[in-house]
Amino acid sequence: MNQLERLNQLPLRDDLRGQHPYGAPQLDVPILLNVNENTHGVPADAREAILKAVAEQLEGLNRYPDREFTELRTALAAYLGHGLTLDNLWAANGSNEVLQQLLQAFGGPGRTAMGFPPTYSMYPLLASGTGTAYAAGRRKDDFSLTAEDAAAQVRAAAPNIVFLCSPNNPTGTALGLDVVEAVYEAGEASQAIIIVDEAYAEFAHDGTPSALSLLPGRPRLVVSRTMSKAFALAGARLGYLAAAPEVTDALRLVRLPYHLSAITQATAVAALRNSDSLLANVEDIKVQRDRIVAGLAALGLDPAPSDSNFVFFGGLENPHAIWQGLLDAGVLVRDVGIPGHLRVTAGTEAETTVFLDSLASLLKG
């Protein structure tokens, strides 16, 4: 009996039958450029500060942590700026959990969430896990999305939740704020919660505005962020959002009690106190990212403009063969299932060189 058959013998919810769990391949490969982690590691001074902060929590670990994670919310508000205060901030174990809580509060049976694929593949999975229907909007053939087009689709679908991913995963490109404004207005009729997922915001080109600037006067707008990418803390699991205080009150209705451990809170607060050091590598990652875009174009491929720490590229006749060839060369990239395309995370300078050189020889071969 295979795993699916065994699973189907259980009294599983009908809507989960036949579904596959989210999972990028987890392989033991020297150069991991497949899940858009920060490849540059945690700097030594930040590691020391985190270690000290965590050690200070140990004596009190018999007690539940601060349910309101007040110090963390205050530190996150200070990091984001834009006049935000702790009442605007919320956090959870990764932005995946933040998004799940939003669906628990504002989605659910009889309600619909809408996204614009290709986009972050967890949106439909989070919708399905919370019994929320998922409506897939359309992009142009070049994967772009204009304000007018997005707004028309939102008006027609009248969803309860809209996911706008900016910079978008897997394409890497940021949306203009005109798209967010137009979608917000189009969602008025269905009172849609508009979630702008800015997981990669810190990697955007200079001058790319954040949807944080649109929050005043828009109580249905939510901007979600994470410490998994620019802050190099994917392993710590800390995602957060900024929104009107009533949105965070809604999330208090669905969060588990004490969902953020004392260790997580201490780690994130210490990281925010050392943000200069943690974010110092962002500039080099952007350099490597731009190097990949230029290098792929020089190889005759078709990279999408990227505001993130990864590059989505087309022009491949047989992406699976290239994926396998790179793996054989010790480089794991991501096949996101879009014909002719692959996605690669910006590595360190040395990793990026191995990726570009290996790809060049595979294309020649």
Ligand X SMILES: Cc1ncc(COP(=O)(O)O)c(C=O)c1O
**Residues contributing to the site for ligand X (CB under 6 A):** 36, 94-96, 120, 165, 169, 197, 199, 226, 228, 234, 239
Whole-number Å distance between alpha carbons of 127 and 100: 8
Task: Quote the least distance from Cβ 200 to ligand X, whole Å.
Answer: 7
Cβ proximity to ligand X: between 183 and 199 the closer is: 199
Cβ proximity to ligand X: between 75 and 362 the closer is: 75
Instruction: Name every residue whose Cβ is closer than 8 Å to that of residue 92 and which is 6 or more positions away in sequence.
Output: 98, 100, 101, 239, 240, 255, 259, 260
Cβ proximity to ligand X: between 199 and 285 the closer is: 199
- Angle of helix 122-129 relative to helix 95-106, nearest 10 degrees? 50
Task: Quote the least distance from Cβ 36 to ligand X, whole Å.
Answer: 5
Whole-number Å distance between alpha carbons of 9 and 137: 35
Nearest to 168 by CA among 142, 195, 139, 199: 199
Task: Quote the least distance from Cβ 96 to ligand X, whole Å.
Answer: 4
- Helix, strand, coil percentages, rounded to 5, for the chain: 45, 15, 45
DSSP 300: T
Task: Quote the least distance from Cβ 1 to ligand X, whole Å.
Answer: 33
Q: How wide is the angle at C-alpha 200 spanned by C-alphas 195 and 201, nearest 5°?
A: 75
Contact between 190 and 156 (Cβ < 8 Å): no
Task: Quote the least distance from Cβ 93 to ligand X, whole Å.
Answer: 8
Task: Quote the least distance from Cβ 231 to ligand X, whole Å.
Answer: 10
Instruction: Name every residue whose Cβ is closer than 8 Å to that of residue 346 and which is 6 or more positions away in sequence.
Output: 33, 39, 285, 286, 288, 289, 292, 309, 310, 311, 352
